[in-house]
Amino acid sequence: MRAAGLIAGGSLDNAIVCDDENWLNPPLRFADEPCRHKLLDLWGDLSLVGPLPPMHVVAHKASHILHVELARAVAAKLTFL
């Protein structure tokens, strides 16, 4: 990924890395650490909108790109309230 210009700040010290079958930097701190990581990514991206209305969010195969798209859509609706 580095060769493609991605993960410039990423390392085995600050990321959870896996191949097709195994974790490359075990042990994980929690059994559900990958889920926690994805949830915090989503929460952090949405928090950039500011105070959010009560809402239910379901994320499937989410990514920062999709999080930002959702954040923009929510922000656009909030400006009309």
Cα 77 to Cα 15: distance, rounded to the nearest angstrom = 34
Please list the residues that pair with 18 across neighbouring strands: 23
Each residue of 32-42: b (16+ CB within 10 Å) or e? Answer: eeeeeebeeeb
Residue recorded with tokens 């954040």: 71
Q: Give catalytic status of residue 67 as yes or no.
A: no
Residues with active-site annotation: 64
